[in-house]
A and B are shown apart, each in its own frame.
Chain A
């Protein structure tokens, strides 16, 4: 009951988001708006850059003029070009950087070169959606297989009209350009008219550029779609070309462009230049030359053929232009093994693009055994190659198809990713790696694998350095703040996922050197900077919450800290005083335990519960001990006060809930510390949250906190109204429409608070709760709510001194007894008011069984932990209240709020309600058989 590492919940969430976020850079972009948008933004920037350059050039234009129409040699395209120029000119003329840019691009040539694909991809982005756009990918000239997708089809028609003699010529010129083709570079695609050299230059330069930006963010391409619109900038060639590529049917650049012929070809302008450059810089390219150059048509194909060992059928494909087709998937995968590195990297980049949001392609890649090849490229020494391979893997690893994830694992992709993470300093590659790991970590069976291979590396390489934590802080310097980088976000997301993999996973994470320290440091820094709403913080808190789960049972030596007396001494859980405690060493000895007992007695006698001496330590705490030091209370309370992020709030409340559960010394401290840090009002305030899960986590935390007697009194006095206001009244759900789990949690918290405290029971009555409780008991369709409400009512009725007041308000004994079965006994085990016929035995037993030990419903791994069980038992002993045991049990289930559970719960309601409306007997949504 008390602790539920709501692992499941987290996981689910994470998964979704992970891909999204990380992906945004990459093609992964989720269909969701959020992600997409981000991407867009980035794209925009890039585009702008490009534009700038162009502008420059414009003025420089071959003609020396902004290319009025007539001037350009290109003839048909002129129009479009000119216009663009003009536009650009207007806007951008001022920008000075062009030169530098160019230079850079040249220098980067290599990079850009490889990157070139991405740009296309970018174009394809559009394509991303439509897929057809690949043209851009020079890669395959062959559009074929993908042809259907490729814009080729859509694309071409428009072109033709434009394709004038001029345009064709360029092709002839291919000889020069072919190189590109080989490379697949879209860049390479030489197209257009070579005629006007000056023009070409201009254009080419801009293009060159593009590659760069794109290259950096491969996936941006996915963003592509957006690119088109806003930018008039587009005019840039480079941009334009992309778009064209991308937007087949689309208008703008495209259409205009078309004259140039294909988007891809547009680049052609550059080609000449590039080609030369290439020669100089990439000697190896020459190797490829012979074949392709001679026969432009075969350019890329030549290599393909070689690789694939067969001639691709597509060559003679439908495409009007036999020279260009996209390679089919098999060919692309074959190219991953091409001896020439740029071919590999381009093929990988193309794969990444193809896989973007396309589950079918991902599956095909898997079935064509592409994943092991990609994984092997992770160890490739060339940055360009392993980067692209990593990008492709990231896209492949995203999505619901776990087989893809398994495939990556089966070819040892996880250790390969981790190796690369250790090796590379390239931020982008690190983002890709950690994004991939995050994606992989969403699949249960891979969690342990990731822990085994990557935990320490991720901690050392990412978490610690980015958290700002230092092993041995320099006393003089100010502590460093955490940096919320994408890499950190991805890595913490991955760890968040794996931290939910059960006791062993928790143990590994807790014992991972520096991890807890760094996470705490990061959170503290977040609190310090008041920057608590971001995803990284959410991830960190969730990890902390998960690691706090069952600390009192799982920490080595924890048994030394348990309170032996608690079991026999109900209600005594109040804080103890303790002089000194070498907590750090877990050195608890017999003497200490005795001391505890004594302290307890003192505590009981002496009503001053606020006296609490925290143990003094001789050496600083570190590692997992930090998880449960009373100091963390302030941190969580700060988060609860400041954060607007529901997940963070839930996790912080969950952490307090976990820490305040159980009967060991530290949970006593935690409970008292929450009070002393004025945390109770903060928690109570959150009972008004609009978020169901926050309310639930807070309610359960309050329940655990009220194990402390003093807390119980305070909560009874100050929280009762807020608790009660969350209860449904009769058929009417409160405005918030809380889920069954939440309602049950609140009822159980109320039960805990009124148990052993007639004062609190009185508060309950004053909060007008009886009416609601009776209504729930009578009319709720949820057996669990029913039962929980019934327990509360019974407890209230058990205070004889309150009966008078109750009777005055018109209640009588029958209202406080379980409905349906009527007999209190039945209530103990069972679910009053449930239609038993539908639930033969098992159903009835449910309560009892749970009591025993097993969970009826092994919804997730939490169940087995059975913490709740223990607790319940304790309670039973303690309070002896009749149905207690079962109450707790009930709670247990709710705790496991995995998604399934939620659905399940939800399903109960509507169905029932509908039935109710018709006055028909409620239909069991779920029947034991």
Chain B
């Protein structure tokens, strides 16, 4: 996803709604995140350019709630329940996802294949 500084970012996004799963005393989503503005973006294996400090889905538990909801490894999380995730620290993102009082999380995610699909359809 490329952008021009100062211009709004546009991205093809998918809405994903994940119902947390009660697991012992915890509610889990079944995926893990990486990235954040306090992390080294150069290490992010999923971003196209290595300067993106967004939050990315790094792993998805097979059969877990996230996978069921259609989340995929490598997805970039744009929003969580309406909260922007493109400019947050790793920890902020984690907290936003793990609110104990919310058992449904709505994500906006973007991924390359989405953009490609759209591009194809426009061709």
Residue positions of A touching B, CB distance < 8 A: 367, 403, 838, 840-842, 845, 849, 854-858, 899-904, 906-907, 910-911, 923-929
Contacts and interface: CB of A to CB of B under 8 A. Distances in A.
A23 B91 CA distance: 46
Given A842-B61, A858-B62, A923-B38, A929 B32 contact: yes
Given A904-B34, A929-B28, 13 more contacts: A840-B28, A842-B23, A845-B23, A855-B62, A858-B73, A900-B46, A907-B45, A923-B39, A924-B90, A925-B39, A926-B32, A928-B31, A929-B31
B108 interface: no
A929 B33 contact: yes
At the interface, is chain A mostly helix, strand, loop or mixed? helix
A926 B36 CA distance: 10
Contact of B90 (A854, A900, A925): A925
11 contacts: A840-B26, A841-B24, A842-B28, A856-B61, A856-B62, A858-B60, A911-B40, A911-B43, A925-B90, A926-B33, A927-B90
B28 to A, nearest CB: 5
Contacts of B98: 840, 929
Interface in B1-58: 23-24, 26-34, 38-40, 43-46, 58
B81 interface: no
A903 B38 contact: no
| Residue among A856, A906, A925 with the highest chain B CB neighbour number at 10 A | A925
Contacts of B82: none
A266 B40 CA distance: 55
A857 B43 contact: no
A907 B62 contact: no
The 3 closest A-B pairs by CB, nearest first: A907-B43, A903-B45, A840-B26
A842 B64 contact: yes
Contacts of B91: 923-924
B59 interface: yes
B78 interface: no
A857 B59 contact: yes
Contacts of A911: 39-40, 43
Nearest to A907: B43
A904 B45 contact: yes
B1 to A, nearest CB: 15
A926 B40 contact: no
A891 B73 CA distance: 21
Contacts of A928: 28, 31-32, 59
Contacts of B94: 838, 924, 927, 929
B26 A854 contact: no
A838 B24 CA distance: 16
Nearest to A902: B45
Contacts of A403: 116, 119-120
A505 B56 CA distance: 31
Contacts of A902: 45
Contacts of A849: 61
Nearest to A843: B32
B25 to A, nearest CB: 8
Contacts of A838: 94
B102 to A, nearest CB: 12
A841 B40 contact: no
A910 B43 contact: yes
Nearest to A855: B62
Contacts of A903: 43-45
Interface in B69-115: 73, 90-91, 94, 97-98
Given A840-B28, A926-B58, A929-B28, A907 B33 contact: no
A920 to B, nearest CB: 11
Contacts of A907: 34, 39-40, 43-45
A910 to B, nearest CB: 6
| Residue among A841, A845, A857, A904 with the highest chain B CB neighbour number at 10 A | A841
| Residue among B23, B45, B116, B120 with the highest chain A CB neighbour number at 10 A | B45
Nearest to A400: B48
Contacts of B28: 840-842, 928-929
A145 B25 CA distance: 66
B63 A925 contact: no
B40 A910 contact: yes
Given A858-B62, A925-B34, A841 B26 contact: yes
Contacts of B63: 854
| Residue among B30, B59, B119 with the highest chain A CB neighbour number at 10 A | B59
A845 B45 CA distance: 24
A899 B90 CA distance: 22
Contacts of A854: 61-63
A855 B61 CA distance: 8
A841 B30 CA distance: 9
B56 to A, nearest CB: 10
Contacts of B123: 367
A842 B60 CA distance: 10
Nearest to A402: B116
A810 B80 CA distance: 52
Nearest to A924: B90
| Residue among A840, A926, A928 with the highest chain B CB neighbour number at 10 A | A928
Contact of A923 (B23, B24, B90): B90
Contacts of A900: 45-46
A546 B30 CA distance: 31
Nearest to A906: B43
